[in-house]
């Protein structure tokens, strides 16, 4: 509700994209609901909430000797395309509680999932004719575009 009031309730591209993804998820659920879990995993992959058995080979004996079941072991991995680096475009708006002015070419640390990286965004605004003009500072209460070098 805060976002709707603060953003003045405007419908944006990402809301439409999220709606399309929701429709596709419902279509997939309707298509695969009569199949067993093994067949669904073949097509969809493992869904959230499913249990997965992981077998790890060549584990050092110190791991087993010093294992404490009170501390969880977190497993994670990256897909084949997640290690790629390139130019990323995003929409950016300065939060109203952040006191300083955001400038183009100021280093920013992004924390996305378990990744954390530092990059230098270039802020721009798109004109009515489609041209992108570089901004020295981010506007106070409107979105602007930002392009930076980072994980795709």
Instruction: List the domain boundaries for the chain.
Output: 10-66, 85-151
User: Which DSSP category does 38 fall into?
Assistant: H
Residue pLDDT, tens place only, 20-52: 989 988 888 888 888 888 888 888 788 778 888
Among 23-32, 78-87, 109-118, the range of highest mean pLDDT: 23-32
Residue 126's SS3 state is strand
What does the block give as tokens for 1? 């509700």
> What pLDDT is stored for residue 10 in this prediction?
58
Give the bridge partners for 116, in sequence order: 111
The answer to whether residue 108 scores a pLDDT higher than 80 is yes
Tell me what percent of the residues of the chain surpass a pLDDT of 70.
Answer: 93
Who's near 49: CB < 8 A, 6+ residues apart? none
The answer to whether residue 88 scores a pLDDT higher than 60 is yes
The answer to whether residue 76 scores a pLDDT higher than 80 is no
Q: Which of 13-22, 32-41, 78-87, 138-147 has the weakest average pLDDT?
A: 78-87
pTM (2 d.p.):
0.47
Separation CA 46–CA 38 (nearest Å): 10
Q: Residue 86 — very low, low, confident or very high, per pLDDT cuts 50/70/90?
A: confident
> What pLDDT is stored for residue 79 in this prediction?
72
Separation CA 63–CA 57 (nearest Å): 12
Separation CA 134–CA 124 (nearest Å): 4
């Amino acid at each position: 509700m805060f976002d709707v009031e603060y953003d003045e309730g405007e419908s944006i591209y990402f809301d439409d994209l999220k709606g399309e993804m929701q429709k596709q998820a419902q279509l997939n659920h309707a298509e695969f609901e009569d199949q067993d879990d093994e067949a669904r995993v073949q097509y969809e992959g493992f869904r959230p909430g499913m249990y997965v058995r992981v077998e790890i080979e060549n584990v050092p004996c110190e791991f087993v000797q010093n294992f404490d079941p009170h501390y969880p072991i977190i497993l994670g991995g990256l897909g084949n395309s997640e290690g790629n680096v390139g130019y990323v475009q995003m929409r950016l708006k300065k939060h109203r509680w952040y006191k300083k002015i955001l400038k183009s070419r100021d280093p920013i640390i992004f924390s996305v999932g378990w990744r954390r990286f530092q990059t230098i965004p270039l802020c721009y605004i798109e004109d009515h004719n489609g041209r992108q003009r570089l901004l020295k500072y981010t506007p106070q209460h409107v979105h602007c575009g930002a392009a930076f070098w980072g994980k795709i």
